[in-house]
Amino acid sequence: MNHDDLRHWSKVAADWAHEYHSTLRDRPVRAPLVPGAIAGQLPALPPEEAETPEAIFADFARIVPDGMTHWQHPRFFAYFPANASPASMLAEQLTNAMAANALIWQTSPAATEIEQVMVRWLGSALGLPEGFVGTIHDTATTATLSAVLTMREQALGFAGLTEGLSGGPVLRFYASAETHSSVDKAVRVAGIGQRNLVKVPTDAGFSMDPAALAAAIAADRAAGMRPAGVILCAGGTSIGAFDRIAECIAVAKAEGLPVHVDAAWAGSAMICPELRHLWAGVEGADSIVMNPHKWLGAQFDCSVQFLRDPGPQVRTLGLRPTYLETAGREEIVNFNEWTVPLGRRFRALKLWFTLRAYGLAGLRERVRNHIVWAQEARDALAQLPGINIVTEPSLSLFTFAAATDAETEALLARINDDGRLYLTQTRHQGRYVIRVQVGQFDCTRDDVMMIVKVIADLMG
């Protein structure tokens, strides 16, 4: 395949993509397959000779689509969505065509500078005060790891980078049980250790209890351990819980501890001013992460980390050997120094296209619709015999269950095997429950209300 072939097959692929999206509602959301079904259709060894584009594309069309869970399906209500607006897909085509590695400014000046502007645009859209800067990571997992590594080094006076952690003080981090598992992964990968992530008790609303946070920090100091940082939750994955951001930040600041706020999902909703009370006080955080790919239509992956002061993170993660210097540009921003990977994709382009193609007004309308439709689905489900609403909607996320865990698990299996919907499960206060999360970019009210119809059909 050469570039002339690519021009033809790109058009074929664009036509295929159009048909794919226009027929998604006719497909089961989740692939009805068993492990090994796809691998069994592939040869055991790679080809010795080149194959034709026709043969390659035919095998793609035959094997891949029916083996995928369709994340862009308008009735994908599982996990959180990884959205891909048409404008974002167009930007990704252009990014793929240029195929740049934006590791430092001089390797892709436009990528770096558009990223800087997009972070400012998005910060303004979220109501964050001027002064926050930031960068675009792949996912919130990387952003949270970057924040935890930075807090670790601040607690160690940046000695961990050279001396390691062996023989050093026991560092302690604080989060509630409602935070995402990426926080647990971060403390493991950062060498802190799982048992040094303190899960602070929550109140009746499943928010971190500020008094319990203060007590945990005091107890650790008394035991000779060194508190290093606090991770707060703004829209947890399980039930959408929000910590009491302002109060918990006040405790952390009184103790001299930095704060990272995980708003990976719910942060997008803060483009709606009437929702910002949910994370009131967030401007006091040192680090905030939110994912435009979850609710704003920027294609996965696109995770934005806002930083009050990038200095500590750059000091933690930055390395600038001679071969990564830009002559005469000592103070230039090189975003690889703000995150873990050296290589970086041009992720800002899809954010630029998306924000322009739909405007903040259009994106707000989608978010508001999803919240309203989720409430309507919750109300209709509550009328079905045998269905119990377990947690009320937090934005567009709520949970429900049948009478017993076994019945709930069996119901979820029937829902997902049916194919018209895709839902997932969690455990809340020891109970097995089914999550409903509305946020797919192209879903309609009819798609959302299909949740009620399917469950009524299956229980009828």
pLDDT tens for each residue of 354-405: 999 999 999 999 999 999 999 999 999 999 999 999 999 999 999 999 999 9
Q: What is the 3-state secondary structure (H, E, C) of 352-392?
A: HHHHHHHHHHHHHHHHHHHHHHHHHHHHHHHCCCCCEEEEE
Q: Which among 328, 453, 456, 459 is positioned nearest to 75, based on CA atoms?
A: 453
Contacts of 166 (CB under 8 A, 6+ apart): none
Q: Are 440 and 78 in contact (CB under 8 A)?
A: no
Beta strand pairing status for 226-233 and 171-176? parallel
Mean pLDDT of the chain: 94
pLDDT tens for each residue of 134-181: 999 999 999 999 999 999 999 999 999 999 999 899 999 999 988 989
CA distance 253 to 308: 14
CA distance 209 to 244: 8
Query: Would you place residue 33 in the very low, low, confident or very high pLDDT band (cuts 50, 70, 90)?
Result: confident
Query: Would you place residue 310 in the very low, low, confident or very high pLDDT band (cuts 50, 70, 90)?
Result: very high
Arithmetic mean of pLDDT, 8-13? 95
Pair of tokens at residue 389: 């609403």
pLDDT tens for each residue of 66-116: 999 999 999 999 989 899 999 999 999 999 999 999 888 888 899 999 999
pLDDT of 326 > 60? The answer is no
Q: Are 206 and 178 in contact (CB under 8 A)?
A: yes
Q: What is the DSSP letter of 399?
A: E
pLDDT of 327 > 90? The answer is no
Q: Rounded to 5 degrees, what angle do the CA atoms 242, 237, 252 make?
A: 40
pLDDT tens for each residue of 200-259: 999 999 999 999 999 999 999 999 999 999 999 999 999 999 999 999 999 999 999 999
CA distance 304 to 348: 10
Q: Which among 115, 104, 111, 101 is positioned nearest to 327, based on CA atoms?
A: 104
Q: Rounded to 10 degrees, what is the CA torsion of 174, 179, 184, 189?
A: -90
Residue 419: per-residue pLDDT: 92
* Count of helix runs (H) and strand runs (E) in the chain: 14, 11
Indicate left, alpha or beta for 301 from its phi (over 0: left) and psi (-120 to 50: alpha).
beta
Residue 323: per-residue pLDDT: 56
Query: Would you place residue 34 in the very low, low, confident or very high pLDDT band (cuts 50, 70, 90)?
Result: confident
Residue 62: per-residue pLDDT: 95
Rounded to the nearest 5°, which phi and psi values hold at 300?
Answer: -55, 130
Percent pLDDT > 90 in the chain is 89
Q: Rounded to 10 degrees, what is the CA torsion of 223, 226, 229, 235?
A: -20
In terms of residues, how long is the chain? 460
Residue type, 333: V
